[in-house]
Chain A
Amino acid sequence: MRYHTPKSFDEATAIAARASGVTRFLAGGTDVLVQLRAGMVTPDDLIDLKHIPEVKGITRTAAGGWRIGIAVSGAELGRHEALCADWPGVVEGMNLVGSTQVQGRATLVGNLCNGSPAADSVPGLIAAGALVTITSAAGSRDVPAEEIATGPGRTILKPGEVISAITLPPRGAHGGDAYLRFIPRTEMDIAVVGAAVSLTLEGDKIASARVALGAVAPKVLLVADAAKAIVGTTLDDTALEALVAAARAAANPISDKRGTVEFRKEVVGVLARRAALIAYARAKGETK
């Protein structure tokens, strides 16, 4: 295994383009090192991206959104007050990943690229409308976060392609988001079900919404019907019932040791409802 420390994404993608064997990019390493240790993946070329200057940055975009470097850890996201104020649901999802130790290293992009349908940070990113910048020797393009994973452990990334940034759109006034998961413990567990809701208000009415569901399908789902169920409403009981029904209808889970199909379909409705209520209260400025 060759260990590379490129100083720019150009250099990183040039190394990846030259590589003929298995290539892995290293940021937080909390998945890559586990796979290395287990012998699941032994890269011929391991490209450590942390020597690239911008990877630790959290900066405002010209439009008023946020550009998040690919090596920003969960702990660093959680300490960034302005980002937490804009996108509390994105940050609370990431901060549920692993332990204090894991939070010191683990990243949003790593969680996304690991391709787990239960990844805690992914529903929040998808609900937020995050864009992911994919860079290769041929150039860069922005892709919606929901298009990255294609199934458990699989992504659209092709050899030689690397994610170079995540961009969150401007939150704007009267917006809120939230992520909730169910686990049978209080900490250090994998989501049995997760749900994220992001919405904006005009007065008391929901003007726009995005609902993303985790661990109820081979990949995290963006559920347009669930968003439709609450747009134009004040999130009254009828709207909430429609949201619950849409979330349950979209869920296509498996039964495993963490939960049955029936349980997951029940809980996904409960969590979608609760996350919507939290996002709504945040959008109203009633809670943080």
Chain B
Amino acid sequence: MSKIHVSATVNGDPVEFLTDPRESLLDCLRDHLGMTGSKEGCGTGDCGACSVLVDGVLVCSCLVLGAEAQGKKIETVEGMSQGEELHPLQRKFIEHAALQCGFCTPGILVAAKALLAQNADPTETEVRYWLAGNLCRCTGYDKIIRAVMDAAAEMRGAA
């Protein structure tokens, strides 16, 4: 079976990889590009652990083929911190202990960042609905919501 050559950018860096046409973008990120921040929870778009942005749109990377990434701009959790400096969402997740096992955390961080990019001052209800497709079996969600609300306030300069 012939492989497909794909050129894209991931977190601003140009990348190239060869993909089997059946492989998901998540497979390509993890297995071909060594970017294991995005997780596979379910592989069927239910859990959100593989959330990434493709051309600015929040998607489950398990529901995108690697071949579809040709020419696209991909953003993953690896692109959130600037070197050693954590993104405010990452700091607030630590401060609020908004994670336990941490498996869902990369997807939630990417999804929350996408929300705050389009709505700097979301209500708690808006945050909960936006993140409804990101499942967490440890925290019970309250700490996650508090961390996102707190990060949003800090990013607005209101904290």
Spell out A's residues near B (CB within 8 Å).
Answer: 1-3, 26, 29-30, 33-34, 36-38, 42, 46, 48, 50, 73, 75, 98-102, 104-105, 186-188
Contacts and interface: CB of A to CB of B under 8 A. Distances in A.
Interface string B29-66: 00000000000000111101001001001111011110
B64 A100 contact: no
Given A99-B133, A102-B133, A187-B129, A30 B45 contact: yes
A195 to B, nearest CB: 22
A73 B59 CA distance: 11
B64 A29 contact: yes
A101 B59 contact: yes
A100 B63 CA distance: 13
Cβ-closest 7 pairs across A and B: A99-B133, A3-B21, A187-B132, A104-B57, A104-B59, A101-B60, A34-B44
Contacts of B90: none
B21 A2 contact: yes
Contacts of B45: 30, 33-34, 98-99, 101-102
B111 interface: yes
Interface of B: 1, 4, 21-22, 24, 43-46, 48, 51, 54, 57-60, 62-65, 67-68, 111, 114-115, 129-134
A46 B64 contact: no
Contact of B58 (A29, A33, A100, A186): A100
Contacts of A75: 57
Contacts of B58: 100-101, 104
Q: Which residue, of B1, B46, B59, B132, has the highest number of chain A Cβ atoms within 10 A? A: B59
A227 B93 CA distance: 52
A194 B134 CA distance: 25
Residue with the greatest number of chain B CB neighbours at <10 A, chosen from A36, A99, A101, A188: A101
B133 A188 contact: yes
A75 B115 CA distance: 13
B43 A37 contact: yes
Contacts of A46: 21, 65
Given A37-B43, A105-B64, A187-B132, A99 B21 contact: no
Nearest to B130: A100
**Of A1, A2, A100, A188, which is in contact with the most chain B CB atoms at under 10 Å from its CB?**
A100
B4 A3 contact: yes
A98 B133 contact: yes
B64 A101 contact: no
Given A33-B62, A38-B44, 8 more contacts: A3-B21, A30-B45, A46-B65, A99-B132, A101-B58, A186-B132, A187-B132, A188-B133
